[in-house]
Amino acid sequence: MPSRARCARAKTINFATIYGQGAFALSRQLKIEVSEAKAFIETYFERFAGVRSFLDTTVEEARAKGYVETIFKRRRYIPEINDRNFNIRAFGERTAQNSPIQGSAADLIKVAMIRLHHALQAGALKSRMLLQVHDELVFECPPDELEALRALVNHEMTTAVQLDVPLVVDIGTGPNWLETKR
């Protein structure tokens, strides 16, 4: 399997697992046997035991408080977390696990976007931010500003917030969004 395909598969497994996707759904997404998907999930939580602990603690705290928080302390209330109906409660548990992660990612990208907007203005660059899609930003840039923009985006996104782990940025360029992925 080519490296890019392996990375895409690993990313799928990572996000599916931390967002509470089960073996059946993961097997359909990856087009593999359910037993193989189950083994991926088990291996993931064996290798990254701290993730399992974080997810379990997050659900317990949501049950006690009725909400979860992002790293910026934005709250997501989850009334479903203590529901008597199993399906509704399971949805609440997945929401409790997912919200701090996705919400914190949303917080981080917004901070980076604000900083980038100000930096583009301060540098009198013609480049402009066009679009945000989840954890990606799309820019339009004159060719002579490409390297300056690349350095600016890398700096502002990796230093948007000081965390215990590094923020890593991949930058792709091309004449359209599809080409930036290659």
Final residue before a domain boundary, out of 90, 105, 120? 105
Final residue before a domain boundary, out of 56, 86, 105? 105
What's the whole-number mean pLDDT along residues 113-119?
95
SS (H, E, C) 18-75: HCCCCHHHHHHHHCCCHHHHHHHHHHHHHHCHHHHHHHHHHHHHHHHHCEEECCCCCE
Q: What is the tally of structural domains in the chain?
A: 2
Residues 100 and 113 in one domain: no
| CATH number assigned to the domain comprising residue 21 | 1.10.150.20
What's the whole-number mean pLDDT along residues 90-117?
94
What are the C-alpha distances in Å from 41 to residues 23, 70, 100? Answer: 7, 25, 21
Residues 97 and 141 in one domain: no
SS3 at position 137: strand
Range of the domain at 21: 3-105
Q: Which residues contact 166 (CB under 8 A, 6 or more apart)?
A: 158
Residues 170 and 134 in one domain: yes
What's the whole-number mean pLDDT along residues 158-175?
90
Residues 79 and 112 in one domain: no
Q: What angle do CA 132, 62, 13 make, to 5 degrees?
A: 50
pLDDT band, very low/low/confident/very high, at 63 (cuts 50, 70, 90): very high
Q: What's the token pair of residue 39?
A: 């083994």
